Amino acid sequence: MIDEISIRDLGVIAEATLPLGPGLTCLTGETGAGKTMVVTAVGLLLGERADPGRVRAGAKQSWVEGLWGIDASGSVAERVRDAGGDLDPNLIDPAEADAGLSGLLLGRSVSPEGRSRAVVGGRSAPANVLAEIGNQLVVVHGQSEQVRLKSATAQRDLLDRFGGEQVHTALTAYVDAWTGWQTIRAELDTLIDQRDERTREADSLREFVEEVTQVAPLPGEDDELRVHAERLANLEDLRLAGSEAREALSAETTDTVDATALLDGARRQLERVADHDPQLAEILGRVAEIGYLVADVAAALSGYLAGLDTDGARELESLNERRAELAALSRKYSISVDELAERAGSAQERLLELETDGSRIDLLTAQVEDFEARTRARADRLTQVRTECAAELTARVTDELQALAMPDARLRVDVTRTETLAATGQDQVELLLMPHAGAPARPIARSASGGELSRVMLALEVVIAGTTQVPTFVFDEVDAGVGGAAAIEIGRRLARLAATAQVIVVTHLAQVAAFATNHLSVVKNQDGEYTASSVRQLTGDARVAEMARLLSGLPDSASGLEHARELLEVASSG
């Protein structure tokens, strides 16, 4: 429930605070005073598109703020917390807080340049968060909503709202089946449409896998072959250098002076005198160590020379042939040798998938048939539920229309099953109106006048109110085109709706305003160069005067005042 709305610099409203609360709140005022701006303010708080043209001339921005009392443990409170906002029970009436409610502040600013900022529970948030929250808090009906009611989609949605949990369960089951059906069918269509392309892909992959399998490249093989080829190509130089190095370190003949002999001589010389000087003994140890290292290197060179291939030319030819084979395959597919084996593995997996297209198509075809049968069965169930709800809605709305000064009118809700299965089922829902006895039932989109459509909307909302969880309804001139006894019945029905929900109505009829439990007047003040509007709460004589103005255009007319008091008495008596 909305406790209060504050408006600043929106349209002609310079600054205003609307005390709301439970029951039926009616807003009245002269034409052009800014009554519709109140509905605009509510729309901004519900995440509707911000119109910079609504910013008051000369103002830096428009600002709207609303205070709601909401269930502190409900889904709205949870969404507010998810958005980073806070709730505060101290903001609302203690009686509301004692009932488990907490205060929620929603805010919206709009600049003349079109910049918009939304605030949810004290934190900035995207406007779509306001929309998510607003859908659970308020239903707004204005002239644009009457236009929307003429669409087939809106009429189906309205029937589904009336059907409540019963329709929701059937619709959810249908959507689950329909979604699965569409998913499987799309996969099947893709396989069939791309069959030739996938065949070509399979042929290409098969050729690649066969060639790679035939060549059988190994990871790192290309680098190993390159190193080996370099070795074989320089075999004689390697043998010569290795032999000379080994002779320099450890000659095979005794008449050659080599490093080993020189180190051995140095060691013997030092051994003779090492006992005389500890420092020299340390040097002797290092010379001995060098001798061991030289001997090890010489032995390693001997092993290296022994391992050199004596038939290197023949091996080099074979090795180069292998390298050429790998290089040709690498160039053909523009990938490295190392990637060939890796790519062949993934290609094999893809090839297996493509080669099973035939069996996959057969399997998917069977699944599509199964899902289609399941979807059609659930669509039939949804149609049955909607048809039952349509009959009940027809009867109840017709009763309401009779009470709204349309005694011979009858609203009929038709549910027609089509051959096409869509995301919402197979049903086309249409509202037909018979305005008087003997008249043919015609679609309200083409037959209902503005006043009739207003009453049809109100009758629908009164009936559906018992099936919805939305706590607040806002009506913008729902009584347009209506007067006399019909207007009184509209006021009575709004009061009945306000017994179970908060109702806010913008009206120009005293017959409707008479039923208000909270009467607000939008007052236009002119001061020299500009016009501004404000809002005041009316009680007592001030309310009677406003009622008289609505009736006769004269707030101080004696007959108007008398008529106003009479209306208030009629309303208070129910």
Lowest mean pLDDT among 100-104, 327-331, 386-390: 327-331
* HSE value, Cβ hemisphere, 13 Å, CA-based, for 442: 13
* Mean pLDDT along residues 507-532: 82
Angle between helix 558-572 and helix 540-552 axes, rounded to 10 deg: 110
Top pLDDT among 192 and 492 is at: 492
Residue partners of 50: CB distance under 8 A and separation at least 6: 44, 108, 110, 114, 116, 127
Is there a contact between 29 and 522 (Cβ–Cβ < 8 Å)?
A: yes
Would you say residue 405 has pLDDT above 90? no
| pLDDT band, residue 64 (cuts 50/70/90) | very high
Percentage with pLDDT > 90 across the chain: 29
Is there a contact between 15 and 514 (Cβ–Cβ < 8 Å)?
A: no
* Mean pLDDT along residues 147-176: 88
DSSP letters spanning 313-381: HHHHHHHHHHHHHHHHHHHHHTS-HHHHHHHHHHHHHHHHHHHTHHHHHHHHHHHHHHHHHHHHHHHHH
First CA to last CA distance, the chain: 24
| Tokens encoding 136 | 């659970």
Would you say residue 147 has pLDDT above 70? no
Candidates 325, 372, 322, 339; CA nearest to 182 is 372
| Tokens encoding 33 | 């005073």
Task: DSSP letter for 95, please.
Answer: H
| pLDDT band, residue 313 (cuts 50/70/90) | low
Spell out the domains of the chain, with CATH numbers in brackets: 1-141+470-484+500-536 (3.40.50.300)
Lowest mean pLDDT among 33-37, 185-189, 326-330: 33-37
Of 308-322, 420-434, 478-492, 553-567, highest mean pLDDT: 420-434
Of 136-140, 143-147, 218-222, 355-359, highest mean pLDDT: 136-140
Would you say residue 230 has pLDDT above 80? no
Of 143-157, 461-475, 522-536, highest mean pLDDT: 461-475
Of 32-36, 92-96, 436-440, 448-452, highest mean pLDDT: 92-96
* Mean pLDDT along residues 427-437: 88
Spatial separation of the C-alpha atoms in residues 316 and 308, rounded to whole Å: 13
Is there a contact between 139 and 468 (Cβ–Cβ < 8 Å)?
A: yes
Top pLDDT among 45 and 454 is at: 45
Top pLDDT among 570 and 306 is at: 570
How confident is the model at residue 233, as a pLDDT? 74
For 354-389, write each residue's pLDDT tens digit.
776 667 778 888 999 999 999 999 999 999 999 999
The conformational region for residue 95 under phi > 0 = left, psi -120 to 50 = alpha, else beta, is alpha
How confident is the model at residue 518, as a pLDDT? 95
| pLDDT band, residue 81 (cuts 50/70/90) | very high
Tallying the residues shown for the chain, one arrives at: 574
Would you say residue 521 has pLDDT above 70? yes
- Pairing mode, strands 518-527 and 530-538: antiparallel
Residue that the structure tokens 């009164």 belong to: 462
Would you say residue 58 has pLDDT above 90? no
| pLDDT band, residue 171 (cuts 50/70/90) | very high
How confident is the model at residue 429, as a pLDDT? 94
Is there a contact between 65 and 3 (Cβ–Cβ < 8 Å)?
A: no
| Tokens encoding 258 | 């080599």
Top pLDDT among 140 and 132 is at: 132
For 246-303, write each residue's pLDDT tens digit.
878 887 766 667 888 888 888 888 888 878 888 888 888 888 888 889 888 888 888 8
| Mean pLDDT of the chain, nearest integer | 85
